[in-house]
Structure formats: C-alpha cells, structure tokens
Amino acid sequence: MTENTDEVAETDGGDVTREEASFVEYGIEDKPPLGESIFLGLQHYLTMVGASVAVPLILAAEMGMPAWATAQLVGTFFVVSGISTLAQTTVGNRYPIVQGGSFALLAPALAIIAATSGGWEASLLEIQGAVIAAALVQVFLGYSGLLGRATKYLSPVVIAPVIVLIGLSLVGTADVTRVNQNWWLLGLTLFLIVLFSQYLDSYSRYAKLFPVLLGIATAWIFAGAMTVLGVYTEESHMLPTDKSLGYIDFGEIANATLVQPIVPFQWGMPEFTAAFAIGMLAGIFASIVESIGDYYAVARIAGVGAPSQKRINHGIGLEGLSNIFAGIMGTGNGSTSYGENVGAIGITGVASRYVVQIGAIVMLIVGFFGPFGALITTIPSPIVGALYIAMFGQIAAVGLSNLKFVDLDASRNVFIVGIALFLGLAIPEYMANVGAAAADIEGMTTTAYFQQEVMADTPLFGSVLGTQVVSDTIYVIGSTAMAVGGLIAFFLDNTIKGTREERGLAQWDRLAEDESEFQTVFDRLRSSDDSTVAETAD
C-alpha cells in the first residue's frame, strides 16, 4: 500500500520535483487483496456505465436492432472493454485506465447508418469495416513513433485545457440537464458520493475506498424500493415525468438470455467503403487527443511523472489494435480511454493497475451473462447524471492543476488557455445547433452529421463542403470539445512567442518520466531473459 506522505515539492533552488499525491491509497504498482480488488475493479467499471451502455443503445436504436440483438451488442461492449483493458494495462501504456466504447466514433457511425440501406445488419457491417480501416492509421501513428515525437510540442498550456474540456464535455448531457430531471434521485446519489468520499473517508476505510460503489448501490436500492411501492412508475408517452426517470424495469432482467454467444464476426464479415473509413478517421483523431489528455491526467492524479513519448506511442498504438479488435467483434464502435475511470481514481485514491485488471476480467466474464448486462442497463438516468457530475468535475479540476507549472503572469498563457476553453465549448455548441437545424429541415428527431444542403448556405462552410466526407470530418472534429480546444491551444502555444519557462516546459521536463522508465512487454521479456542467462552463467 502506498504511504500517504508527500515528497518534497521544491528544492532549495525552487525547482519543482515529483510529488506523490497524498490521497493515493493504492499506487499503480500496488496489489490490494483479491476480494477487495474485485469490488474496487467493479467500482471502476460502474463509473463508466453511462457511456458503456449509452453508446450501444444509441447505435441499436438508430439501426432498429431487435431486443435480442441489442442485449448481445451491450454484452459485446463489455467483453471488448475487458479484453482491451487487459491488453492496455499489460502490453500497452500500463496505466490503470479502463478502455471502452468511444463517443468520438459515434458521430461518424450514425452518419454511416443514415447513408446505408439494407437493415441493421448492413449498417453494422459497414461501421465495422470503417472502424477497422481507420484504426490501421492509428496503429501506424502509435507504433511508428510519429505521434510520440509530436508530443514534444505539448506544454501544460495545451494539456490543461484539453483535460478541462474532457471534464466539461458532459455539462449539457441529458442525464444531468433534462428539463424533467428527477433531482431528488440525482441529488441523493451525489450527496452519498460526497458523503462517503469527503466526510466519512477519515472514519471508515470502506467509505474511502468504495464511495462510488456505495453511493450507486444505495441510490439504486432506493429507486428499486420506490418502483415496488409505485412511487416511480413507467410512463408510456414520449416525454417521461420525473417519476419515470427513477423507474426500474425488473422484467428486463428476468427476460434476458442467460448466456450470449459473443464471437468474432458474429454479425457477418465487415464491409469496407473508402468514404466511410475517411469519416471514421476523423473520430479516431478526436479519440487520440482525448486519450493523450487522459494519460496526462492519470499520471498527474497518481503522482507519477508525465508520460514519456514511448509510453504514449504504445498506448495509442494499442488503442488502434483494440479498435481493430472491436471491429472484428462487431461492437459498431471502437475503444478508447475512459475519463470516468480517471475521475474515479481522483475520488477514491485507488490507482492500482492490478485493480483495473481484476475489474476487466470480471467484465469480460459477465459480458457473456445476459442478466448482468440487463441489470446494468436498469441503472436510472439520474444516478448516471450524478456520476457524471462527480467524475467529470474531478477531471476538470485535475486539468486546472497542470497550470501550477505555467507562468500565469504571462499574458500569452492566460490568453491561450482562455480562448481554447471558450472555443472548445462554443464551436461544438455551434455544430450541435447546425445539426439540429438540419434535423428540423429533414423532419428527423436526431442527426449526427451535417446535411450538406443546410451547411452549403452557411458563410463559413459553403465554399469548402464539396463532399460528404469533408462535411463529416469537420463535424466530428468540430463537435469534440477536447479536439477543438486542444488544436487551438496547440497552434497558439507553438506560434505565439514564449519561453520554455513561461510555457511550463522547463519544470515539466524535470517532472516527466525518462524514456527508460517505461518498459514495454518486449523490454521486460528481454530483461527476464538476460537475468536468466546471467544466473545460468553464475
């Protein structure tokens, strides 16, 4: 177990040194007892339940999948998440980050669905092919080292707004802001998480380690009791009341298939269309930016050095392989690092890689078990909303903490951070408004891509949108807050005059891990072989 003692934060010369986070209960290399690790790992996965269930449900609804296929799709997401997380924590960047379906890939996936005829099977096979093809580029960028070399141009002035925007990206999500929100249930969940993590943590070790799990379980049981008592009821109309937002349909669990046959190419062989692959590539780029931000965030929370180029290369390369694997398994989406998991580390102080691996094994197994997936989908929206508030608020604060290395008296830094944050929030909002306008014109309820007829009339895009590929690419990147903010901050920070000390690079270099500190699986195998040879020689 990691001792809760801080290392010296400053030397006599005023240089910043690595500082171990005082709240970390279990460090990256620590291995808690197995029984405890199972619950800690489950807690990590429960924090991402909103996204891990929302993505397949959105895809299934848009494709018109039948109930049995939807349940199998959710299970497939769990299985792919479990295997991808094990791979990332073992042979990838080896950070304790959960891997799962990406919202960045959702927009191009929905565009493919809208452009494909032939039923849900045809749409899903086209999405699978697009994900696999686009992921090949991600694998090349990672393992070729090109992406890592580009990170030398990343300073805290760039990374801080990216992480902050990851934290603020779900501010407007319906799980939090819907007009008919069940604030009683959301407030109860949030109150319990705050109670366990901030007030009772010094009195109870369980409250310190399991604040999210205890908060979710208690609120979930409360919602179930209100459902049984008839306080929370199922509504049949399109806009549910606040009561229906706490309703739990126990019938979904009872009717679930006991064992789901989740195998490669379960829906058929993927189809490859160049235009779809290019559109999906925009989502891959947005996902890469988000993942790099997550790497820096988890390193900052866990109190370890900023990730080296070598670690970033292997992390992104492995995510590319995981995307290919997701395409083969047929999730209709890819795999990326989950910010919710990073936020959970900040709240619980559990940064153990071993814990995340145990959780991944649990999710891999239960993914084949239909009733478990059905049980997870019954978590009411207000409980998920409370999770978002707690988790993503924590991530935003972690992003701001990176500014401690930056000279905030330098006007260039304040300007860059401010404009990156504002445009990182404003441009995606603009994209959403354009999409809504297109939806109204087309008579649709939702849209995830530009209607070119609408965009052609806008002053900015009228002269550049010649193809659907261009419009989809602009939409995906422009709709992703961390991609917009990151690209703007990256450009300004590397073009506006500023010293390395002002930008925080000088102090960050002293904190960053050396390239030799991160050992790939091949390095570890080579070291093991050398040790064996040396022992034999002795």
At which residue do the structure tokens 């409370």 appear? 386
What end-to-end distance do the CA atoms of the chain give, in Å? 35
460/449 Cα distance (integer angstroms): 17
Q: 432: number of CA atoms within 13 Å, CB side?
A: 12
| pLDDT reported for residue 222 | 94
pLDDT exceeds 90 at position 468: no
Q: By three-state DSSP, how is residue 100 classified? A: strand
Q: What are phi and psi of 99, to 5 degrees?
A: -105, 140
Of 265, 292, 338, 403, whose CA–CA distance to 82 is shortest? 338
Highest mean pLDDT among 148-152, 308-312, 513-517: 308-312
> Greater confidence, 108 or 131?
131
Tens digit of each residue's pLDDT (9 = 90 or more) over 68-105? 888 888 889 889 999 999 999 999 999 998 898 877 78
Four-residue CA torsion sign, 303, 307, 311, 315? positive
Average pLDDT over every residue of 393-418: 88
Could you tell me the two tokens for 97? 């980050």
Q: Which residues contact 163 (CB under 8 A, 6 or more apart)?
A: 293, 294, 296, 297, 395, 396, 398, 399, 402, 482
Residues of the chain with pLDDT > 70: what percent? 82
Q: pLDDT grade, residue 180 (50/70/90)?
A: confident
Q: pLDDT grade, residue 8 (50/70/90)?
A: very low
Highest mean pLDDT among 174-183, 319-328, 466-475, 510-519: 319-328
| pLDDT reported for residue 218 | 93
Average pLDDT over every residue of 388-402: 80
Average pLDDT over every residue of 351-363: 90
| pLDDT reported for residue 11 | 41
| pLDDT reported for residue 533 | 54
Average predicted confidence (pLDDT) for the chain: 80
Average pLDDT over every residue of 33-55: 80
| pLDDT reported for residue 353 | 92
Taking CA atoms, 401 is separated from 32, 163, 214, 301, in Å, by: 28, 10, 28, 10
pLDDT exceeds 50 at position 237: no
- CB 40, CB 334: distance < 8 Å: no
256/75 Cα distance (integer angstroms): 11
286/297 Cα distance (integer angstroms): 17
Name which of 16-25, 261-270, 327-336, 518-527 the model is least confident about: 16-25
| pLDDT reported for residue 17 | 47
- CB 493, CB 503: distance < 8 Å: yes
| pLDDT reported for residue 236 | 41
Instruction: Give the dihedral of Cα atoms 506, 511, 512, 513; nearest 10 deg.
Output: 140
pLDDT exceeds 60 at position 241: no
- CB 248, CB 378: distance < 8 Å: yes
Average pLDDT over every residue of 511-532: 70
| pLDDT reported for residue 3 | 41
| Total-model pTM | 0.74
- CB 77, CB 129: distance < 8 Å: no
